[in-house]
């Protein structure tokens, strides 16, 4: 069995924490691991690292690499990646992006596939399926398990057993979907209506024929579904054999099936011609081979702030508080702070989410409207729907501390052994002050080490590079000055991450 992890989504329902350039799957909402790391760690209780295919895109490739690399280096003694027989390799200077990805991928024995364009889950699954056939040598009877990258599931032992059961049912030619028993009339989830019990080879396996899928009903309909008792939440997890899904694409999605008849490399070149359609609409809703397997475990797709409130532990007043919070006469409220002191008085059943550049305040039960706020901001041409104050790069991150006419001040963090591109700027000079760690700088023909409380100056139109040769993150303050300080005033001459 192979597992395809879908990690290319750019959901905005958890704005302002989740944004287009740093979406939910990379957030650490419930502990020290991102949701993607939790997903991969959970799957490693089921299969080996070499059987995992992570589907993402060019925009998120370095976030995926960083998360998987961090997971590999985790101190968790139970990590199967850490204890696998794959020896840890030092990532030396790669010639390009592909070498960089292959180097880390080989350390993990995992497969990271970049979708050439964003085309929803059906094309992504077809692309992953073709990779399994052409690059991994899989046959038509190989079972694929499809997993989102941003869900919370436990206990792991129960999940592992359900995956194994789904694999057995999928081998009989069915498409298996995990159905979650609803606990409330949730309008943010899709629902599955089940019919008669399926007859399978083993009496220990329980599954039901799927009668229909319903996408995000209104509140009254959701309440009726719970009363009827034959509806389940659609978890977005599926299991099927390669031969089965190809047959279903042939019948229900001929455009996608035509692509599958090409080679993987040919499919890559034509991927932008794929229809933008989900696997639910492309296959599941029209197939008579879909069955639902009820699962009795905790599942939360954290599709809204309301969902996160249900997941986290509250205090005696029903409040969830993170950060510097003072709450007076406040009940059943989630307050997530960043850097500021947040004080509340008399709030009840509310949500307060603070980031460096935006604050969301909402009544509980209205969290599904966050997408409407994001749409409004996008229509106004604002940057907040897509950009964080912290911008992540393959070498680390930077934060804009202050910006004005002819100047910009940044805090730059460079990861150990990472380096920025060899570059120059035509309209600005830069002054670097090291506040933590040691920097290796190249300015024109000069190379030198710059230690804490020391500085370096980069004149306009001068080739330069910043590197971290040490074992701890390098932190510097960068002061830019010039007639133009936009991020597009950059000419890269040499880059280890394959960027133009």
Tokens of 493: 């001459």
The predicted pLDDT at position 95 comes to: 38
* Confidence tier at 96 by pLDDT (50, 70, 90): very low
pLDDT bin (cut points 50, 70, 90) of residue 31 is confident
Q: For residue range 189-224, what is the model confidence (pLDDT) as tens digits? A: 899 999 999 887 766 788 999 999 988 888 899 999
Q: Which residues contact 283 (CB under 8 A, 6 or more apart)?
A: 122, 175, 245, 248, 249, 252, 253
What average pLDDT does this structure show over 445-466?
97
pLDDT-wise least confident of 73-82, 266-275, 377-386: 73-82
Q: What is the pLDDT of residue 70?
A: 77
Q: What's the rounded mean pLDDT across residues 168-176?
A: 95
Q: Is the pLDDT of residue 329 over 90?
A: yes
**Element (H or E) spanning 353, and its range?**
strand 350-354
In 385-490, the DSSP E strands lie at 390-393, 396-404, 407-414, 422-424, 428-436, 439-443, 446-450, 455-458, 464-467, 474-482
Q: Is the pLDDT of residue 374 over 80?
A: yes
Whether residue 373 is predicted with pLDDT greater than 60 in this model: the reply is yes
Beta strand spans in 228-324 (E)? 231-241, 290-295, 298-300, 320-322
The least confident of 88-97, 399-408, 412-421 is 88-97
Predicted pLDDT of residue 92: 41
Q: Tell which CATH architecture fits domain 390-494.
A: Sandwich (2.60)
Residue 100 above 50 pLDDT?
no
Which residues does 362 contact at the CB level (< 8 Å), separation at least 6?
A: 305, 350, 351, 369, 370
Instruction: Report the pLDDT value the prediction gives residue 133, as an integer from 0 to 100.
Output: 96
What end-to-end distance do the CA atoms of the chain give, in Å?
Answer: 37
- Predicted confidence (pLDDT) at residue 345 exceeds the cutoff of 60: yes
**Between the CA atoms of 439, 440, 442 and 447, what dihedral angle is there, to the nearest 10 degrees?**
130
- Characterize the bridge pairing of strands 2-6 and 143-148: parallel
| Residues 6 or more apart whose Cβ sits within 8 Å of residue 296 | 158, 181
| Lookup: tokens for 87 | 């020896």
Q: How far apart are CA 15 and CA 126, in angstroms?
A: 30
**Predicted confidence (pLDDT) at residue 90 exceeds the cutoff of 60:** no
The tokens for 237 are 């997890």
Averaged over 40-65, what is the pLDDT?
91
* Cα 86 from Cα 255, distance rounded (Å): 39
pLDDT one-digit tens code per residue, 118-137: 889 999 999 999 999 999 99
Least confident of 38-47, 98-107, 199-208, 390-399: 98-107
Closest of 258, 222, 278, 303 to residue 11, by C-alpha: 303
What local confidence, expressed as pLDDT, does residue 109 receive?
61
Count of Cβ atoms closer than 10 Å to residue 402 Cβ: 9
pLDDT digits (tens, 9 = 90+) for 130-165: 999 999 999 999 999 999 999 999 999 999 999 999
**DSSP state for residue 22 in the 8-state scheme:** B
Give φ, ψ of 4 to 5 degrees: -105, 115
Helix (H, G, I), strand (E, B) or coil at 257: helix
User: What tokens were used for 284?
Assistant: 């599941």
CATH class of 2-300: alpha beta
What's the rounded Cα separation, in Å, for the pair 499 and 70?
Answer: 22
Mean pLDDT on 314-329: 97
Beta-strand ranges (E) seen in 165-228 are 175-180, 191-197, 208-214
Contact 1, 167 (CB under 8 A): yes
Q: Cβ distance 358 to 373 under 8 Å?
A: no
The values of phi and psi at residue 431, to 5°, are: -125, 120
Confidence of residue 78 (pLDDT cuts 50, 70, 90): very low
How much is the pTM?
A: 0.85
Delimit the domains of the chain by residue range: 2-300, 305-379, 390-494
pLDDT in tens, 270-296: 999 999 999 999 999 889 999 999 998
Residues near 251 by beta carbon (within 8 Å), at least 6 away in sequence: 286, 287
Residue 105 in this model has a pLDDT that exceeds 90: no
pLDDT digits 0-9 by tens, 213-270: 988 888 899 999 999 989 999 999 999 999 999 999 999 999 999 999 999 999 999 9
Percent of the chain with pLDDT over 70: 92
The mean pLDDT of 306-317, rounded to a whole number, is: 94
Residue 74, pLDDT score: 52
């Amino acid at each position: 069995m192979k597992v395809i992890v879908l990690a290319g989504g750019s959901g905005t329902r958890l704005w302002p924490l989740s944004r287009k350039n740093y979406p939910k799957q990379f957030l650490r909402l419930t502990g020290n691991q991102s949701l993607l790391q939790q997903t991969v760690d959970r799957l490693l209780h089921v299969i080996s690292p070499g059987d995992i295919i992570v589907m993402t895109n060019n925009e998120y490739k370095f976030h995926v690499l960083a998360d998987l690399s961090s997971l590999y280096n985790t101190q968790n003694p139970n990590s199967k990646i850490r204890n696998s027989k794959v020896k840890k390799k030092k990532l030396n200077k790669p010639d390009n992006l592909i070498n960089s990805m292959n180097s880390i991928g080989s350390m993990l024995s995992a497969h990271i596939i970049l979708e050439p364009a964003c085309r929803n889950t059906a094309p992504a699954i077809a692309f992953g399926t073709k990779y399994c056939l052409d690059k991994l040598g899989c046959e038509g009877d190989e079972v694929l398990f499809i997993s989102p990258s941003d869900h919370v599931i436990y206990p792991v032992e129960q999940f592992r057993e359900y995956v194994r059961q789904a694999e057995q049912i999928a081998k009989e030619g069915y498409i298996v979907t995990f159905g979650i028993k609803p606990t409330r009339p949730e309008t943010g989830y899709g629902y599955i209506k089940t019919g008669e019990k399926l007859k399978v080879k083993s009496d220990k396996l329980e599954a039901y024929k799927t009668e229909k899928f319903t996408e995000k009903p209104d509140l009254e309909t959701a309440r009726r579904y719970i009363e009827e008792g034959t509806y389940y939440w659609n978890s977005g997890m599926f299991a099927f054999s390669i031969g089965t899904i190809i047959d279903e694409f042939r019948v229900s999605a001929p455009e996608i099936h035509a692509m599958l008849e090409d080679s993987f490399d040919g499919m890559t070149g034509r991927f932008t011609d794929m229809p933008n359609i989900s696997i639910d609409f492309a296959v599941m809703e029209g197939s008579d081979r879909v069955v639902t397997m009820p699962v009795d475990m905790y599942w939360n797709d954290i599709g809204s702030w309301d969902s996160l409130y249900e997941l986290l532990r509250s205090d005696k007043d029903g409040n969830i508080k993170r950060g510097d919070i003072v709450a007076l006469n406040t009940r059943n409220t989630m307050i997530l702070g960043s850097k500021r002191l947040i004080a509340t008085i008399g709030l009840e059943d509310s949500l307060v989410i603070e980031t460096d550049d935006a604050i969301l305040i909402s009544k509980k039960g209205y969290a599904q409207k966050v997408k409407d706020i994001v749409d409004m901001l996008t229509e106004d041409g604002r940057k907040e729907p897509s950009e964080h104050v912290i911008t992540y790069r393959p070498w680390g991150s930077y934060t804009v501390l202050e910006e004005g006419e002819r100047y910009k001040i940044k805090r730059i963090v460079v990861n150990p052994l990472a380096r920025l591109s060899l570059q120059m700027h035509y309209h600005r000079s830069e002054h670097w002050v090291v506040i933590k760690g040691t920097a290796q700088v190249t300015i024109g023909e000069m190379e030198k080490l710059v230690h804490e409380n020391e500085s370096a100056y980069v004149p306009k139109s001068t080739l330069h590079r910043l590197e971290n040769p040490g074992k701890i993150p390098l932190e510097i303050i960068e002061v830019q000055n010039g007639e133009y300080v936009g991020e597009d005033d950059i000419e890269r001459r040499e880059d280890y991450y394959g960027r133009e």
